[in-house]
């Protein structure tokens, strides 16, 4: 051919374009639906943000006082259905570890008023500290997007695990064993 450069231009463009598109289709084909994606937190392996405030029964609470023990920081609201579902699991976890003295549960109220929260605990039970967070500062410090969310804080006060959605006692114990081991 007299002008090979001209001849081959379309092929020279089409081949790389096809390659890029093949990669692109490959990426799209292997994506999971957006809803199933895991959530990370920049807080992992960082010191847990402090929680200082009042509990439901008017006492002073400071997360620092619990150093030396595992703490499950649980964010919840009485209007949230998965929170109601996870509550018995929390109770079991709390009871089990209160006896052993190695782990504590702390609940933080998320976007909820005192009255409804009190009613929630009266109905569902649970005897661990419930920190009111009237301005949502604690939830913000922990980066809570939607309840329920829970954080496992180790005895040195470092965040080790973030759980979005409801928790289960067995799963919590497993996480505890993993993180502690």
Partner 1 sequence: MNAAVGSAGVVLGFVSAAGGIVTIALGLLGGRRGMLRQIVPFVALVALGAVVAVAAMERGLITRDFSMAYVADHGSSKTPALYNVATLWSALEGSILLWALVLAGYLAAVTAKFRHRLDDPLVGWALLTMFAVCVFFFGLMLGPANPFHTVAVAPLDGPGPNPLLQNHPLMAVHPPMLYLGYVGFTVPFAFAVAALVTGRVGEGWLVETRRWTLFAWAFLSAGIVLGAWWSYEVLGWGGYWAWDPVENASFLPWLTGTAYLHSVMVQERRGMLRVWNLSLLCATFALTILGTFLTRSGVLDSVHSFSESAIGPLLLGFFALVVFVTVGLIGWRGDRLRAPGRIDSPRSREGSFLANNLLFAAFALVVLLGTVFPLVVEAVNGDRLTVGEPYFNRMTMPIGLALLFLMAVAPALPWRKASAETLAQRLQWPAWAGTGVLVLAVVLGARGVAPLLAFGLGGFAAGAAVRQIVLATRRQGWRGFMGRTNGGMIVHLGVVLIAVAFAASSSYDHQREAALDPGESVEVAGHTITYLGFEEDTSDPAKVERRARVRVDDDGVYEPTLQRFPNGSQEIGTPSVRSSLVDDVYLALLDPPASDGGPVRLRVIVAPLVMWLWIGGGVIVFGSALAAFPGSRRRGTEPTSALVAAGRDTSPVARRPGAARPDQERPERPERPENEPIGVG
Partner 2 sequence: MADQPRTAPAARWVPWVLMAVVVAVALAVGSRPADDATEEDRVRAIASTVKCPACSGQSAATSDAPSATAIRAEITRRVRRGESDDEIRGYLAGRFDDILLTPTSSGAGGVVWALPVAAVVMAFAGLAFAFRRWQASSPTTASPADRDLVARARTGGSPADAHGEGDGR
Task: Work out what residue 17 binds among partner 2, partner 1, none; the CB cut-off runs from 5 to 8 Å by kind.
Answer: partner 1
3-state secondary structure of 71: strand
Q: Is 139 in the site for partner 2 (CB under 8 A)?
A: yes
Q: Which residue has the tokens 């009613």?
A: 119
Count of residues interacting with partner 1 (CB under 8 A)? 26
- Interface with partner 2 (CB under 8 A), residue from 72, 105, 144, 167: 144
CA distance 91 to 118: 16
Backbone torsions φ then ψ of 107, nearest 5 degrees: -105, 145
Structure tokens at 49: 């943000």
Question: Which window, 25-33, 101-109, 122-130, 137-145, contacts partner 2 (CB under 8 A)?
Answer: 137-145
CA distance 108 to 56: 10
- State the Rg of the chain over Cα: 24
Count of residues interacting with partner 2 (CB under 8 A)? 24
Report in angstroms how near the CB of residue 145 gets to partner 2 at its nearest.
3
Residues binding partner 1 (CB under 8 A): 6-11, 13-15, 17-18, 21-22, 24-25, 27-35, 37, 40
């Amino acid at each position: 051919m007299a002008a090979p450069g001209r001849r081959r231009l379309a092929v020279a463009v089409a081949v790389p374009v096809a390659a890029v598109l093949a990669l692109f289709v490959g990426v799209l084909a292997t994506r999971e639906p957006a809803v199933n994606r895991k959530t990370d937190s920049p807080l992992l392996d960082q010191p847990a943000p402090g929680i200082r405030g009042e509990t439901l029964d008017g006492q002073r609470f400071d997360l620092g006082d619990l150093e030396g023990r595992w703490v499950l920081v649980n964010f919840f609201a009485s209007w949230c259905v998965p929170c109601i579902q996870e509550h018995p699991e929390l109770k079991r976890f709390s009871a089990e570890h209160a006896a052993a003295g190695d782990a504590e549960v702390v609940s933080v109220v998320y976007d909820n008023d005192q009255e409804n929260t009190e009613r929630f605990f009266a109905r569902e039970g649970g005897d661990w500290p419930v920190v009111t967070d009237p301005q949502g500062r604690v939830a913000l410090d922990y980066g809570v997007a939607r309840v329920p969310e829970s954080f496992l804080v180790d005895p040195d006060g470092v965040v080790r695990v973030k759980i979005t959605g409801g928790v289960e006692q067995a799963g919590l114990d497993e996480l505890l064993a993993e993180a502690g081991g």
